[in-house]
Amino acid sequence: MRAFLLPLTLIVGLSSTALAREPYVPCDLAVKLDYATYLPIAAANLGGWSEASEDDAAGHYADCQAAALSASLQKSPNLRARLAKLRTLLRQLSSQESGLASMLAGGGTRYFHAIPRSYVDIEGFLKSLAALASDSYGGLNASGGSKRLGDLTASFDARLRTLRARKPSGTLKLVNASLADYRKAIDDYEKTYKAIRSLLGRKADIATLAAYEFVTNRSLLQDVMSE
């Protein structure tokens, strides 16, 4: 039974294109494939590989995975709603990181291609987080969890300070942005991160710590921050 083919009104936190691209790779098949297997098939269906076809294929794959996860959590409505909210915030964080990376690098389409492709990793993480949150093991206190949690939040705070310390006037001109635009982008990025922290809470259990690890260590800013 294809239990995940729910009415769209019941699929929480998905884009309007979820399940609308079935001619590419049907969702009931896509959710059974790993991404490395799926991508060349999807790209071929879209006329061959291109940056645009990979973006589209990644978005479709992520939406299918999101629909399947949502359906699997029908009996856990609170968890499903929290994960849907987290999905929205994580996708927003990726978009904001892409914009900041472009400002620091003086443009570059690769940062915008990275947005839909990041959704694949986000869905893999949310599936894992759902498994941890649904099992008593995920609620166990993590060994050294409180210290690690503090280290992770301090690391993100340090990233924000580094971003604010930069004044990339030269690269901003290349993307028709001002320092005021750059500072606002950082402020918006921080607001999204704080919303994620508020949603996750501060319990030093295995599931919560795994979430902070993902949010802190997976960033579209890594390349430009190291330059």
Helices 35-45 and 51-72: angle between axes, nearest 10 degrees: 130
d(CA 159, CA 153) in angstroms, rounded, equals 10
Q: Is residue 25 part of a domain?
A: yes
Q: Is residue 194 part of a domain?
A: yes
Q: Is residue 1 part of a domain?
A: no
Q: Is residue 227 part of a domain?
A: no
The domain of 190 spans 8-222
- pLDDT given at position 47: 82
Q: Is residue 128 part of a domain?
A: yes
d(CA 156, CA 189) in angstroms, rounded, equals 11
Q: Is residue 76 part of a domain?
A: yes
Q: Is residue 73 part of a domain?
A: yes
Between vectors from CA 34 to CA 207 and to CA 1, what angle results, nearest 5°? 85
Q: What is the pLDDT of residues 154-185, one digit of tens each?
A: 999 999 999 999 988 888 999 999 999 999 99
Strand partners, 167: none
H helices present in the chain, as ranges: 27-30, 35-45, 51-72, 77-105, 110-133, 145-165, 169-174, 179-200, 206-217, 222-225
Backbone dihedral angles phi then psi of residue 141, each to the nearest 5 degrees: -65, 130
Q: What is the pLDDT of residues 56-113, one digit of tens each?
A: 999 999 999 999 999 999 999 999 999 999 999 999 999 999 999 999 999 888 999 9
- When divided into structural domains, the chain yields a total of 1
Q: Is residue 94 part of a domain?
A: yes
